[in-house]
Amino acid sequence: MRQRLADYRVFWRQFRQAYHTTGAVLPSGPRLCAALSHFVREGDAADGRRILEVGPGTGAVTDRIVRDLGPADHLTLVERNEAFVGHLREHLQAAQPAALAASRVEMVHASVEDLPEEQPFDLIISGLPLNNFSVSLVEMLLGKMMSLLRPGGTLSFFEYVAIRRAKSLVCSASDRERLRGIARVLNELLGPAEIRRDLVLANVPPAWVHHVKKTET
């Protein structure tokens, strides 16, 4: 309980100090974390997989992924916000000591766009607040995450239900145009490649989780 309150405090502070990249008031709830980790739990872990979590924040989704890892899986976390990185190190030491001791979890303090692409990942789980970004940045980040995936690998990410419609009601004309651009970019990615979609109503706010498979060739 004390750990969760500390997580909420850090998250709220970063929401105020770095709204643009934090993008949420609260960490993801348990149902949303479970939906994001679906393919970690359900996929074939026999040979050990390379898994990447982008934007772990205070570690809510990370905890669920670690719980779902197969015995030979390896998880990399990439987080750009220094305050989250410091807090997450402490969080993992308290919540996931066995996984850390076995070197099954590695933390990288960087932006995902700076990760090298030589060793592709089998699964990527993203917490990036895409609807806060410019259209070109969303295009670049989605392209980068697909480049970091091996052929046949899966990218799972979420967005809050009707968030673009809700924002469009109160934002400027140029922001509306930006949100329309993001919808177009997402549709281009999801149309041919989405293999599963989960509606998570038991989250604040409710969210869609999209799962996209990279083509085999």
Ligand X SMILES: C[S@@+](CC[C@H](N)C(=O)[O-])C[C@H]1O[C@@H](n2cnc3c(N)ncnc32)[C@H](O)[C@@H]1O
Please give the residue ranges that form the binding site for ligand X (CB under 6 A): 21-24, 27-28, 54-57, 60-61, 78-81, 84, 111-113, 127-129
CA distance 183 to 80: 25
CB of 46 to ligand X, least distance (A): 27
CB of 216 to ligand X, least distance (A): 27
Can you state the angle between helices 173-193 and 135-148, rounded to 10 degrees? 20
Token readout for 189 is 């990615």
CA distance 107 to 209: 24
Beta-bridge partners for 123: 51, 154
CB of 80 to ligand X, least distance (A): 4
- Closer of 144 and 176 to ligand X (Cβ): 144
Residue nearest to ligand X (CB): 55
CB of 180 to ligand X, least distance (A): 22
- Closer of 48 and 198 to ligand X (Cβ): 198
- Closer of 21 and 48 to ligand X (Cβ): 21
CB of 95 to ligand X, least distance (A): 14
- Closer of 56 and 153 to ligand X (Cβ): 56
Going across the sheet that includes 121-126, the strands are: 105-109, 74-79, 50-54, 121-126, 149-160, 207-213, 194-200
CA distance 155 to 41: 14
Contact 88, 80 (CB under 8 A): no
- Closer of 14 and 49 to ligand X (Cβ): 14
